């Protein structure tokens, strides 16, 4: 089958975590014999920032790293009607322009035989509810929400028809242990500063424990204001700026442990949704310590796959314990890697997607998926 993905950007992962997941899903679909293409808008802020920071070399690096992935940039003259009608499944990400979301839906309503899917991987349903409420989703066959609480928000608000939970996951062809890479430093955190929605948490669960323990630590990410950079420097933390997602496995491999610091909107209003970095870090076989979040969907095994702490004092103790107890660290690595490998790879999510399409897709998609080779 032919899958068409409308995304903010496939090329750029600058402050754009959905690109990580979409790349892995597309690669697995292609491996199974399907066609997968992405469309991204001209002037996308993530791609523009990527080029501003890394130049055209960063774009070239994407194409060199993922030669199997196909993406096109559309402008105001692009024929979206022709594009969607040439596909079997069209998946539209929630960052897509609302007018285009409605336009694609109208094409489905007016006789398009493709299965039309809306995909939400953000907290705007609670942090900017009006943005999502204003989207015209009545003509979409399926909504994919990246957590059960987000799915419930869609159901309670009457947004969409068939709404399914579809968590992000790790592309384990890329994110895997690199046991021959030498450990060079104690700790790494790969995360963006954002809009101050976790600034207090970064200070409590990262900066202060690292400073008090005098650890050798690295931070990679973007959108750090000057005061944040100053606090990192004061704590002796090396700031390395943006890192291409494909380089993250090697960066994890060079460090002895990592942390997860969830964004406040998820903790307070959308429990059960970790960022994709949790899946990716565990897939790389690095011990992980997490600031508090409610794993209400039981994605992981508590205190086996990673260490959950409640405050900065517990974070400091957990860091010290893991760095001083290699056996405990290895137990976490083995357990976390086992859980991701068994449940949380892009292969698993493609299995889930094909299952959803076989139940709620259009007749042509259901018929295609009924063929024996469709799931290979």
Q: What is the pLDDT of residues 77-121, one digit of tens each?
A: 999 999 999 999 999 999 999 999 999 999 999 999 999 999 999
- Residue with structure tokens 């996308």? 44
Residue 320 has pLDDT above 80, yes or no: yes
Helix (H) or strand (E) holding 288: strand 288-290
Q: Give the sheet arrangement for strand 70-74, strand by strand.
A: 70-74, 35-41, 2-6, 89-93, 115-120, 142-145, 162-165
**Residue 143 near residue 162 (C-beta atoms within 8 A):** yes
The answer to whether residues 74 and 42 belong to one domain is yes
Range of the domain at 191: 185-343
Domain assignment present for residue 176? The answer is no
Domain assignment present for residue 36? The answer is yes
Residues 204-225, mean pLDDT to the nearest whole number: 97
How many whole angstroms separate alpha carbon 158 and alpha carbon 151?
A: 11
How many whole angstroms separate alpha carbon 94 and alpha carbon 270?
A: 17
The answer to whether residues 358 and 326 belong to one domain is no
Using 50, 70 and 90 to split pLDDT, how confident is the model at 373?
Answer: low
Helix (H) or strand (E) holding 3: strand 2-6
Q: Based on C-alpha coordinates, what's the Rg of the chain? A: 21
Residues 336-363, mean pLDDT to the nearest whole number: 98
Total count of domains within the chain: 2
Per-residue pLDDT, 85: 98
Domain assignment present for residue 175? The answer is no
Using 50, 70 and 90 to split pLDDT, how confident is the model at 374?
Answer: low
Q: What is the pLDDT of residues 11-42, one digit of tens each?
A: 999 999 999 999 999 999 999 999 999 999 99
Per-residue pLDDT, 252: 98
Using 50, 70 and 90 to split pLDDT, how confident is the model at 265?
Answer: confident
Domain assignment present for residue 60? The answer is yes
Q: What is the pLDDT of residues 116-164, one digit of tens each?
A: 999 999 888 887 788 888 899 999 999 999 999 999 999 999 998 899 9
Range of weakest confidence among 145-154, 204-213, 230-239: 145-154
Using 50, 70 and 90 to split pLDDT, how confident is the model at 376?
Answer: low
| Whole-number Cα distances in Å, 145 to 6, 119, 362, 369 | 16, 6, 20, 22
Ramachandran sector of residue 294 (left: φ over 0; alpha: ψ -120 to 50; beta: rest):
beta
| Whole-number Cα distances in Å, 168 to 32, 127, 300, 317, 362 | 19, 20, 14, 30, 24
The answer to whether residues 114 and 216 belong to one domain is no
H-helix segments, the chain = 18-31, 45-54, 56-65, 80-85, 98-109, 124-127, 129-133, 148-157, 199-202, 208-213, 226-234, 248-253, 264-269, 276-283, 312-324, 326-343, 346-360, 363-369
Other beta carbons within 10 angstroms of residue 77's beta carbon come to 5
Domain assignment present for residue 128? The answer is yes
The answer to whether residues 41 and 145 belong to one domain is yes
- Enumerate the β-bridge partners of residue 92: 6, 118
Sign of CA dihedral 104, 110, 115, 117: positive
Q: Which CATH number goes with the domain that contains 12? A: 3.40.50.2000
The answer to whether residues 108 and 234 belong to one domain is no
Other beta carbons within 10 angstroms of residue 310's beta carbon come to 9
């Amino acid at each position: 089958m032919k899958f068409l993905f409308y995304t903010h950007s496939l090329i750029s992962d600058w402050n754009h975590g959905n690109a990580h997941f979409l790349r892995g899903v597309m690669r697995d679909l292609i491996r199974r014999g399907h066609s997968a293409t992405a469309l991204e808008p001209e002037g996308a802020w993530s791609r523009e920032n990527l080029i501003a920071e890394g130049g055209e070399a960063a774009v070239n690096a994407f194409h060199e790293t993922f030669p199997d992935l196909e993406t096109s940039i559309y402008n105001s003259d692009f024929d979206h009607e022709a594009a969607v009608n040439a596909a079997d499944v069209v998946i539209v990400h929630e960052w897509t322009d609302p007018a285009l979301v409605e336009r694609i839906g109208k094409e489905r309503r007016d006789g398009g035989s493709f299965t039309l899917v809306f995909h939400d991987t953000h907290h705007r349903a609670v942090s900017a509810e009006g943005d999502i409420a204003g989207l015209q989703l009545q003509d979409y066959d399926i909504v994919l929400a990246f957590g059960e609480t987000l799915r419930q928000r869609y159901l309670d608000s009457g947004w969409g028809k068939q709404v399914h939970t579809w968590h992000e996951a790790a592309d384990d062809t890329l994110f895997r242990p690199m046991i021959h890479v030498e450990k060079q430093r104690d700790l790494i955190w790969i995360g963006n500063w954002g809009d101050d929605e976790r600034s207090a948490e970064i200070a409590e669960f990262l900066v202060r424990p690292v400073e008090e323990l005098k650890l050798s630590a690295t931070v990679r990410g973007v959108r750090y204001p000057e005061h944040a950079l100053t606090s990192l420097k004061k704590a002796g933390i090396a700031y390395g700026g943006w890192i291409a997602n494909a380089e993250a496995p090697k960066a994890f491999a060079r460090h002895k442990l990592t942390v997860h610091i969830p964004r406040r909107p998820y903790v307070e209003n959308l429990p059960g949704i970790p960022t994709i970095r949790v899946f990716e870090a565990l897939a790389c076989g690095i011990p992980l310590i997490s600031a508090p979040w409610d794993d209400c969907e039981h994605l992981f095994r508590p205190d086996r796959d990673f260490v959950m702490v409640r405050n900065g004092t517990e974070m400091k103790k957990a860091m010290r314990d893991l760095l001083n107890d290699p056996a405990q660290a290895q137990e976490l690595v083995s357990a976390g890697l086992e859980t991701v490998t068994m449940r949380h790879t892009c292969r698993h999510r493609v299995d889930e997607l094909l299952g959803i399409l076989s139940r709620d897709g259009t007749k042509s998609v259901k018929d295609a998926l009924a063929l024996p080779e469709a799931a290979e």
